[in-house]
A and B are shown apart, each in its own frame.
Chain A
């Protein structure tokens, strides 16, 4: 192998090392930040400047790391934390791919649909008679509207049409249950 080939091979190896494997979150779902334009339009308006991610207090706004066309568009990663609905990200977008929204409970309830909650009842503590948990109900910004508790064990019942999809319930759900997942809009 000559020097030139060697340099090329080294560079190729370095390039491979730079690109990490796809993480679980990326393959799982693509939720867009609050105020995002509809799917299709959002990808055209976003220029990937990552200001939204820089102001996100819970750092749930991420960028995919794999080789794909949407590598420069932000998505929400609810694996560790959730959106606290501060609406800061909507105010820093230079191209209005995220439409500015007031951090007002009524405005947020009307305008924001990040995803829909999916409850796996077979994993939920109250639904399986393992305890009166109510954690999701307690953290929900819209209790009794997005989620209510029913029956003697206070089992949660979600109303996706009133849910903004912030993921706080997913974050609060105990490690032993992990019964709630915010899924992308259909």
Chain B
């Protein structure tokens, strides 16, 4: 029997610099989750202990005596210098309860604009769940090498939208914010903060372990594809994004490498990409004949290509 092409069989032939950029970006995002609580903890200790002026950490306390430090918060609602950014999904959940305020509009606007132009780029470039997904994919590869069957259930495309509406609806009925409990960037950020500040993990670890098991044994990248409410939100907001991967059919040899390497079940080979594409660009880097590339497409044509 001919062995089916697996994602791990594919090497990223070119675009290494591009992939390095993506890893850097992702590393920075993970660093935000873990490194910043460390920094704040240190800054607080300096402030609390009133360390001597020659301590290198006292610079932190000197620059920010009363104002907040330059970076604060979870990956989903980060304060960067003067910019106060909140994830569109969490903003929507807040708006359902509290109504729309100017504060809410200003905090969500940069994210909404970015997603409108770049689509689900957060999922492919910055989500702190990506290392876990990579581990799950490695586990799938290992299972297949051991000759064990790996299930790859493809939940219907509508599932993610149902989950998105469901989370918002159930949260509204219960009168609590459900999004920070089930949205991996929020959960991972909080657990990293908890681990750094208090040296313990909370129940959020369960969600991450559950998502890992789901992605490993049930469906490849199934959590990102079908269960993550944030991914669904980005898909909706970015459905008219003009930035897309386009296959130049004259260069294409129909080798299926790009379709196999895609975590989210897109088909760049046939130019069949929907709003689920996370713009990670691995298909472009894997293409042996460089048939794939980023193209700016008229937003009006985008959804018609199904």
Contact = CB atoms under 8 A, between A and B. Distances in A.
A57 B44 contact: yes
Nearest to B216: A7
Contacts of A4: 148, 217
A11 B190 contact: no
A53 B203 contact: no
6 contacts: A45-B177, A47-B93, A50-B189, A50-B193, A66-B202, A95-B103
B40 A95 contact: no
A65 B202 contact: yes
B198 A95 contact: no
A24 to B, nearest CB: 14
A131 interface: no
A38 interface: no
A95 B79 CA distance: 12
A46 interface: yes
Interface string A73-98: 10000000000000010011011100
Contacts of B44: 56-57, 59
A105 to B, nearest CB: 16
Nearest to B71: A54
Given A47-B186, A69-B181, A95-B86, A19 B203 contact: yes
Contacts of A44: 94, 97-98, 175-177
B213 A11 contact: yes
Interface in A1-57: 3-4, 7-8, 11, 14-15, 18-20, 40-41, 43-51, 53-57
Contacts of A43: 175-177
A19 B48 contact: no
Interface in B75-121: 76-77, 79, 84, 86, 90, 93-94, 97-98, 101, 103-104, 107
